[in-house]
Structure formats: C-alpha cells, structure tokens
Amino acid sequence: MAAISSVQCLSSYDSHHHYHHQRSQSGSRWRLGSRVLVSSSLCKISLLSGVYLKRRRHLMCAVKGGAAEGAFKKTVELDMMIDALKDANPRELEKLVVENILAFDEVFWLRLAARSDTCTSDDDKKDYEELAATVMTIVDCVVNMTQEKIESSTDVLKAILRPVVEGVEEISWPPRDPHAINQMEKEMIQREKQGQLDEGFLSQVSAQLRQAKEDKDKPGLAAMLQKVLQLYAATVLSKRSYAKKGNEIVKAEQFLETLIKAPEEQWNKLFLEGLTLGKGEVTPDELSSVIKKRVERTLIRTEGGSYEQRILIEYLKGMESRANDVMKLLQG
C-alpha cells in the first residue's frame, strides 16, 4: 500500500475527530469520533489494576497452554505494538499503522485504554490520548482511501464489461455479439496503458469471481469475470517478447507468444498446428521448457503473493495443463 502523507492524514484530525478521556469511578471512556470504547467498567476487569500488578509474577508463571496462554501472548504482542507506536517518529508511526492496519481492532483499543488507566501522571495519559487520536486518524485515512480505490476499481471493471452487458437483460456466456470480446480486449489494453489494472482492480475482480462461483447460479457472470482475468494476463504477458535471440528466432518462444495472444478457445487448434505431435515444429518438451522459463521470469518480476503474480502464473500453468491434455490425446 502506498505511503500516506502524514500531513494529509493528521491535518484532518481537528475537523473530523473529537477525542475525550473522562475519568470515573467505574473506569475510563475513550471517545474517538463516533466510536466509544469503554475500558474496565465494560469488561469488568482491569488488566493493569492494582490487584493485577501485585499478582503479575504469579500470573505469568501460572499461564499454561490453552486459551489462557493464547490471551497472554496476544496481550504481549499488543504491548509490543503499542510500545513501538509510542517510540516511533511521525513517519515511522504512519508506516507502522499502514503495515499493520488489520491489528487495530477492538482488542487493541481496549488494551490501549487499559494501559492509559494505569498511568500515574497526567503527561503520560496525555501521551496515550495523542497516540490514540493520531493512530485513529491514520486508520480512517487508510479506510477512506481503500473505499475510494474500491469504487474506482469497480468503475474500471464496469467499463471493461460494458460491451457484453450493455443492453442485455440476462448475463450469458459467450456473448451473443461476436465482437463484444474484442471490444473488451481493446478496453483492457487501454486501461492497462493508463495504469488502472492495479492490485485494487485485480482484488476486486477476484473477489467478485469467488462470490459468483459460490452462488453457483451465475455461471455466465463467473465465466465473464474469468475472461477478464485471462485478458489481463494475456495483455501483461504480451508486453515482453523473448522470441528473438540475436538474429535468430526461437520457435518455441514464438509459439508460446502466439498462444498467449490467442483466445483460450483457440488453444487446442494451435496446439495441433504448432506441436510436432500434430503438424508443427515445436516439441512438447520445448513448449514445456519455455513455459517454465516464463513462469520463472514472472516470479522474479512480480511481487510475491500479489494478485498480479498469482493470476499470471495461473494463466501460464493453465496453458501448460491444456497442452498436456491435448498431447495425451494425440499420443493415445
């Protein structure tokens, strides 16, 4: 996730966030915008109460296995996170929050409130108040930016799908208009040139594809979204060519690039025309070798675990799997 400007995030605090810390006999209440977090009075325990401090050594020794050990480890992890946030400068703090965005759940805020409850000086309490307000501001900035990104990615997907869904009452696949897929591909290439087919877009398409497959009553939609990912993979992989080696043409690489650029529906025909088991000049081993090389190059050039890497690798391996199936039939 791109770094978020500290100035942009923190300057919005005064106008969008109101932070109050009110002491009472039953505990403390933290108000962060519309969020209200109640510490000891809500949980009916205080992790750092006087009793806890007296028995801390005994509790540390007594915690063994099961849920108690898990809760203890979670508390230790939260304390380490809070200490790191307290010691960080503004830039480091922002980076820590962005990198650990999922860690800022209700348990985190309750632990932060408990830590504040045990402070003996107003200055220390004020430090925790300021830390909470700053972290919450950055978290809200991240959430807002993510929401905007999702909306933007949805608009891009709609534009790509428009040729096959516009004016159609019920989604079906393949589309009735034979030119619709070509129009989708042109839109995909244009959006890729504009840098709009990023991780946000790929995650949006992948999420909708998973949902369509789970619903099971939308096979047309699932096939359509699968086609979007295939077109993406073909568009990205076609940007690099390895068919020329000096003044020579590497036939296996050239054949692979022909497959990448071709619609999936034409692969079987191309295998029959291009492989030596059919009418071609490329051996099955040569094709398998260049596909493996392209997978290795893709792994090197893409971020590990990214949607981009996963989609490109799945596309190449799907092509290899289809080639193996066709070769088995030809040999059978």
207-243 pLDDT tens trace? 889 988 888 777 888 999 999 999 999 999 999 999 9
Cα separation, 97 vs 228, in Å, equals: 33
* 153 contacts: CB under 8 Å, gap ≥ 6: 198, 200, 201, 203, 204
Across residues 40-61, what is the average pLDDT? 40
3 or 86: which leads in pLDDT: 86
* Longest CA pairwise span in the chain (Å): 87
Phi and psi, residue 266, nearest 5° = -100, 0
Q: What is the pTM of this model?
A: 0.58
User: Residue 274 above 90 pLDDT?
Assistant: yes
With CA atoms as reference, report the closest residue to 294 among 231, 247, 252, 248: 252
Q: Which residues pair with 21 in a beta bridge?
A: 30
Rounded to a whole number of angstroms, the CA Rg of the chain reads 28
User: Residue 169 above 80 pLDDT?
Assistant: no
Q: How many helices (H) and strands (E) does the chain have?
A: 15, 5
